[in-house]
């Protein structure tokens, strides 16, 4: 959320949250799912998947 509208790869998110040597790519997907469950009821979807690359946080974009 510190980088709105900037597409971040799973590896970038993994390194920023768990450190550069963590190997659990599935952890990113799991926590993105948790965040979506919390944020989506508050309005339009704010986290979008960029297929083949990663995720983008864009709270102003419509689904």
- What are the tens digits of pLDDT across the range 12-29? 999 898 887 877 778 899
- Cα(38)–Cα(9) distance, integer angstroms: 21
- Cα(8)–Cα(55) distance, integer angstroms: 5
CB 36 within 8 A of CB 44: no
- Cα(55)–Cα(49) distance, integer angstroms: 5
62 falls in which pLDDT band (50, 70, 90)?
low
pTM: 0.77
């Amino acid at each position: 959320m510190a980088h709105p509208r900037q597409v971040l790869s799973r590896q970038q998110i993994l390194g920023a949250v768990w450190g550069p040597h963590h190997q659990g790519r599935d952890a990113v997907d799991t926590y993105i799912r948790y965040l979506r469950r919390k944020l989506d009821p508050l309005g339009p979807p704010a986290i979008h998947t960029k297929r083949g690359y990663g995720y983008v946080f864009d709270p102003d974009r419509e689904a």
